[in-house]
Amino acid sequence: EKFEITKEQQDFMNVILDAYNRHQIPPDVAKKLLQEQYSAEENFLLLTEMATSQVQVLVEFTKNIPGFLSLDHEDQIALLKGSAVEATFLRSAQAFSTKMPSGHTEVLEERIRKSGISEEFMTPMFNFYKSIGELHMVQEEQALLTAITIMTPDRPYVKDQQAVERLQEPMLDILRKLCALHHPGEPQYFARLLGRLTELRTLNHYHAEMLTSWRMNDYKFTPLLCEIWDVQ
């Protein structure tokens, strides 16, 4: 059956979902969103802490994606560096639409809007957050979409793209079946999810500009972010 999820696909899905739920931003870091001051510097520091913690979460989640650790080591790094911003956009978008307790969402939006990011990037960023929120993804879809984003074969410097494709394709097949299962009234839902992945790629470009303008204003990042984003 085209939409029947097989036993091994269900097992695979449970591994991804468990990893996705196990690795989260520590509550004390997320809680800080409510406590600290609202100056641009304070907001930037908080968001830097969130992004740094998020990258650590991303690395742990990625290591749990079946097959990732058997890839060429340099390709593992290339996939993480190539997907870090997109995965963080997905994760923070999901935090906006589902995870955050109500009230945190406005605080997070306020801090992002007042953290030295220029106006021109706010529109595409918050349009993306809105478009993710409107999808009402279930947890399995969120976890799988993040894993699929990480396992994108055509990232810069990936040598064995076929090996990455072989890991991404089975996840796309499970996602297609999950969409049919969880959104029976919307035959186009899977296509809409894939459309978000295309939108994510454009956000990479805006993010690179955000980094440049932060650096021009002498904002500092953590060593982990400098390494994964190739800055400084």
Ligand X SMILES: CC(C)c1onc(-c2c(Cl)cccc2Cl)c1COc1ccc2cc(-c3cccc(C(=O)O)c3)sc2c1
CA atoms within 13 A on the CB side of 104: 17
Binding of residue 88 to ligand X (CB under 6 A): yes
Using CA atoms, how far apart are residues 38 and 18, in angstroms rounded to an integer?
35
Q: Count other Cβ atoms within 10 Å, centred on residue 66.
A: 15
Indicate the residue among 11 and 60 with the shorter CB distance to ligand X: 60
| Contact window for ligand X (CB under 6 A) among 42-50, 132-140, 160-168, 193-201 | 42-50
Residues 162-221 that bind ligand X (CB under 6 A): 221
Q: State the nearest-atom distance from the C-beta of 1 to ligand X, in Å.
A: 34
Using CA atoms, how far apart are residues 23 and 2, in angstroms rounded to an integer?
32
| Contact window for ligand X (CB under 6 A) among 63-71, 86-94, 135-143, 145-153 | 86-94
∠ at Cα 64 (61, 70), nearest 5°? 125
Q: Which residue is nearest to ligand X (CB)?
A: 95
Q: In sequence order, what are the residues at sequence separation of 6 or more whose Cβ sits closer than 8 angstroms to the Cβ of residue 51?
A: 88, 225
Binding of residue 54 to ligand X (CB under 6 A): yes
- Interacting residues with ligand X (CB under 6 A): 24-25, 30, 44, 47-48, 50-51, 54, 57, 85, 88-89, 91-92, 95, 99-100, 108, 112, 115, 221, 225
